[in-house]
Chain A
Amino acid sequence: MGARDILLARLGWALTLALAIAAPFALGSYHLYQLTQVLIYAVALVGLNLLTGYNGQISLGHGAFFAIGGYGVAILTTKLGLPYWAAIPVAGAICFGAGFLFGFPALKLGGLYLALATFALAVAAPQILSYTGFDAWTGGSQGLQLGKLKPPAWAHVSADTWTYGVALIAAILLFGFALNLVGGRVGRALIAIRDHAIAAETMGVNAPLYKTTAFGLSALYAGVAGGLSALAVGFVSPESFTLPLSLAFLVGIVVGGLASIGGAIFGAFFIEYVPNYADQLSVQFGESAKALPGAIYGLLLIAMMAAAPSGALGLIRKIVAALFGAERA
């Protein structure tokens, strides 16, 4: 990356941060709630991108880690009385452990086989969550109701603004960490393993350690996102974490741009807003088209991939290059 690109990237981040901080002052509670969802998805997408985009391990099962984080926070706050700000890191740590452990069998599996193994994880998650034996903890199929997030008295803000703020702080911390990670030695090692594992090992990279750690970190991101989601929605149930959620994450990182941290934000906007637009668009085709939001979503997705095969961020880079001319690295 040349000096100009670095400058542009920094400008982009500064602008994004400024908009994110200004949002609560400009938006109503519903739009703020949607933006909170975007932040939550963005955190999960960064996590998945660390694993899939940077390290080349495909996961179709991140909905499961999202679920563990969500249920973790729900159980810790409602059953064990932990405050939410303590519950989120704990849930993240649990997910790190779960992801790290899942990373070991994943070492034996490459490419599509790993995709299948993680797919199984996503399919199994709702079943395990509604298993009757865990009813006392998980609420079984009825799910768990969380109390509304209460802002402290000194804050003088609404519960929605406070929830948004909590999600924003978590997102800033986790985005910052991820940017640092991929910009340094660890990031180079992850990419080297993705591009040529044997060559990376020859260079002295401990591939198994990096791969399992990448899995753990990625699960941690998904878990924190799941925990934030449980707080924002105020309810968890097995139906909240079904297979389409895992698939939405994969759609998100591809749409946003593989192996890019900033792309996660675009991906998050896509998976939050496009299904809604598909629903609204489908009404335009008359009452009988009410059953078609899925088909319209599919068309929009195809259109998006045709317009920006390298993701939203790739498209922006192309536009920048076209406007200012390609820069010599």
Chain B
Amino acid sequence: MTLSAQLAQYVISGITIGCIYAMVAIGFNIIFNSTGIINLAQGEFVMLGAMSMVLLSHFHIPFLLTFLISIVAVGIIGGLFQRLVIDPLRNESMIVLVFVTLGVSILLSGSVMFILGKEPYLPPAMISSQPIPFLGTAIDPQYLVVMGVTLTVVVLLTLFFEKTILGQAIKACSINRMAASLVGINPRKMIFFSFVLSAVIGAIAGIVIGPITMMEYDRGPMLCLKGFAAAVLGGLGSIHGAVLAGLMLGLLESFGAGYVSSSYKDALPLIVLLAVLFWKPTGLFGVTEEREI
């Protein structure tokens, strides 16, 4: 393989995996903005999205329908999570919230293991996997699907937060909950919506990445950690920072796997996570802002 072909391959796989980290990071940010909580179950939404595609593929329904059902199902799980677990504990200490999101994470992966077992599955892909020639290498069109879908999600989210009443209301709540409730916005409802939205974005990420990486019940925590690394690197709360940081981490991982060590590729984003947390917890693009957590 020529050098350019090799580079192209690293870049493409790096951006693709980076898109997934970006979407997990966006999910973190949406919940963080509305509640100040870091949801340790964020990675499970990704796993659930892919696994529900696997489950539904047994029923021979059109792809678009399985896609929609999966998203709705994971969205409902996100909503239930908020209603049944987060809402009753909203006045509890941070330690309780850490443990409960951790517990939900384990519970969700345990439930999937209960239903589907421990082996990895290959969820159905949106389009056929006829490789496309590109710069002397061949790329799986699914990679392009991941990039396209991520771009769409980011654009739609930006529009949602800027142009719609609901988006503005969620944003208002995250800026100042008290002031928002004074103008008639119900913060608890907005928190509910942010959990649903965050779960849906996670599910979309899982649905598009599943056909490339396969998926198993215990993939959530690693996705959660790497997504969190992207969220912190991009500055917690910032959606566009999350995208940039996610892509950076993805590229770092793919070039690290290619040029440094393939067995330590998972370690690189974790090292970045620790480095950022230890030296610059506000992230690369973050604004220093004291938050009430």
Chain B associates with chain A:
no
A: residues with CB less than 8 A from B are none
